[in-house]
Amino acid sequence: MKKNNYRDETNSIPLQGLGVSNTGNIDRKKRISQGVAFTIFKLMSYAVVGILILILGFIVTKGIGTISWDFLTKAPEEGMTKGGIFPAIVGTLYLVLGSSLFSFPIGIMSGIYMNEYAAGSKIATFIRIMTNNLSGVPSVVFGLFGMALFVNTMKFGDSILAGSLTLGLLSLPLVIRTTEESLKAIDKSYREGSLALGATKLQTIRKVVLPMAFPNIITGLILSIGRVSGETAPILFTVAAYFLPKLPTSIFSQVMALPYHLYVISTSGTDIEASRGIAYGTALVLIGIVLTVNLLANFLRNYFSKKVKTN
């Protein structure tokens, strides 16, 4: 007890001597500035939520009235001011499918190579830098490139094939990065255990590493689908048709696509005012697809991470 008193005195006396008697004031100032700053940060963070709600809310409330069975299953009519968007939905599905067939195998294999065979080596670093560079290339440059290579040089014409390859290249960096990161997250001891049991490297990857990394890889793949289905610039000159009520017959036919359709009817359609309703509906369908894909990815990630924990 006595000791404590003594300490208090020694604490306060030198402070007074140094002229720092208004410590309480400084504390309050500090606390106020912290409070103000934190409130601002908090408000700004919730403003981001506000922006999302504003965009989604606007498109949902304006677009929900347009959505009907007919809208989803009929072709556009009367200069795209009436009718539905069925060909555009089908076209987008084809493009997503086509680009996935191209980018998933190559991206996953590339990720496996970087993390399992060349981890830390110069080759892996080089591939990583190139992949990062590729992901920084603007989508419209992919469009130019796809047009020059696939449409003109390889003579695919404006076709699903050309569009899918262009979109596939665009989504490749995302697939590679998620695969690599999923593999990196797996503890080394699993690989060593498998190798110690006499399994070859390939067997280890196939039977041990890949199954464990699978949930995260799937999440990445789903996110890349979301990205691909909303891209417009790369398909402008490689596949997208302004108006084409027929469904595609081969991989060499043109298709309509949701994002391009939205662009066309909101900026250069035959009658912009008359097709506004369709535009809202198209935007809602597009956003619906992207959100579903995102939520699905989120759900899978949570689901699998819980499952791994209980194991």
Partner 1 sequence: MLFLCIELKRYFIVKRFLEKLVEGALLISGSVTSITILLIVIFLFKEASGLFNSPVIEEGYVLAFNKTNPVKKLSSYQIKEIFDGAITNWDEVGGKEEPIEVVRLSDLTKYYTEAELGSNFENIPAKASELTAKHPGIILFLPTNYVAKHFNGTLLKHETLRPGDFFGGKEWYPTASPSPQYGLLPLLLGTLWVSLGAILLSLPFGIAVAVYLAEIADMRVRNFLKPVIELLAGIPSVVYGFFGLVVIVPFLQKTFQLPVGETALAGSIVLGIMALPTIITVAEDAMRNVPRAMKEASLALGATQWQTIYRVVIPYAKSGITSAAVLGIGRAIGETMAVLMVTGNAAVIPHTLLEPVRTIPATIAAELGEASAGGGHYQALFMLGVILFVITMIISISIEFIGKKKYSN
CB of 2 to partner 1, least distance (A): 27
Which residues between 57 and 76 bind partner 1 (CB under 8 A)?
58-59
Give φ, ψ of 36 to 5 degrees.
Answer: -60, -50
Report if residue 243 touches partner 1, rule: CB under 8 A: no
Report if residue 144 touches partner 1, rule: CB under 8 A: yes
Please report how the helices 23-63 and 276-310 are oriented relative to each other, as an axis angle in degrees rounded to 10.
120
CB of 295 to partner 1, least distance (A): 8
Report if residue 154 touches partner 1, rule: CB under 8 A: no
Which residues between 184 and 213 bind partner 1 (CB under 8 A)?
200-202
Among 75, 90, 97, 106, binds partner 1 (CB under 8 A): 106
Give φ, ψ of 240 to 5 degrees.
Answer: -65, 135
Among 60, 74, 83, 139, binds partner 1 (CB under 8 A): 139
CB of 148 to partner 1, least distance (A): 4
Rounded distance, CA 121 to CA 56, Å? 45
Among 266, 274, 277, 300, binds partner 1 (CB under 8 A): 266
Which residues between 272 and 291 bind partner 1 (CB under 8 A)?
276, 279, 283, 286-287, 290-291
